[in-house]
Amino acid sequence: MILIAPSLLSADFTRIADAVRTVEKAGADLIHVDVMDGHFVPALTFGPGLVAALKKITSLPLDVHLMVDNPADMIPPFVESGADWVSIHVEATPHLHRDLASIRAASRKAGVVLNPATPLSALEAILPEADFILLMTVNPGKGSQPFIEASHERIRRLQGMIRDRGLSTLIEIDGGINLKNFERLCRDGAQVFVAGNAVFGAPDPAEAVRTMREIAARKDGR
């Protein structure tokens, strides 16, 4: 099962509601919300207020990617605002186990994010505690960067780790995903695809989502 998660980072911020409605109608599965705090990454983006506003205009789950230092402080406000999936960076917290537990205690999906340079071995102890793993396929902080090719191998290795342990942890990928590499990434074992520029930078965002859906359907055998 492949899930498509357009990232609002590349949407026109003056028309966010339209962007959400467009991709929802075209068959997106999640809305990816990139939260940046100006510390963990230089940019500053969205807060819980936006999540609460989005909640009113879409029934799609909101996938909140916390690129913030001290994520423990940010989990409660985003959960209260209606975040459905919450992911935190392994590089940003010394208390990953506790932070994931607090997301799960709120009955939300808890995800662990790995930067491109962070070894998969960082997941060794924590894998059973996560609903999904988000592999960054670019360095976090901005949209429209080129896909890091070594990520193909990382996705396959992560899939192996999950399989060996008999888990059903989802693999999400984020950064540089486009209509050209989508199919290969499906074959690698990625299941949740974040796409910013490939959707909202396209002349017709709805068409871009529909094309991803078609590629995914071929892979799913539907």
Write out the catalytic residue numbers: 34, 174
What track of x and - describes contact with ligand DX5 for positions 181 through 200 (by CB under 6 A)? -------------xxxxx--
Q: How many residues bind ligand DX5 (CB under 6 A)?
A: 22
Could you tell me which residues come within 8 angstroms of residue 204 by beta carbon, excluding any fewer than 6 positions away?
none
Q: Is 172 in the site for Zn ion (CB under 5 A)?
A: no
Q: Is 12 in the site for ligand DX5 (CB under 6 A)?
A: no
CB of 10 to ligand DX5, least distance (A): 5
- CB-nearer residue toward ligand DX5: 71 or 176: 176
Which option in ligand DX5, Zn ion, none does residue 48 bind, with CB closer than 5 to 8 A by kind? none
Classify burial at 30, counting beta carbons within 10 Å of its beta carbon; exposed 0-12, middle 13-18, buried 19 or more: buried
Q: Is 6 in the site for ligand DX5 (CB under 6 A)?
A: no
CB of 221 to ligand DX5, least distance (A): 26
Q: In this chain, which of 31, 32, 151, 212 binds ligand DX5, going by CB under 6 A?
A: 32
What track of x and - describes contact with Zn ion for positions 6 through 45 (by CB under 5 A)? ----------------------------x-----------
Dihedral Cα 113, 99, 29, 219, nearest 10 deg: 50
Half-sphere exposure of 106 (CA within 13 A, CB side): 20
Q: Is 3 in the site for ligand DX5 (CB under 6 A)?
A: no
Other beta carbons within 10 Å of 144: 13
Q: In this chain, which of 54, 65, 137, 170 binds Zn ion, going by CB under 5 A?
A: 65
Binding residues vs ligand DX5 (CB under 6 A): 7, 9-10, 32, 34, 65, 138, 140-145, 174-177, 194-198
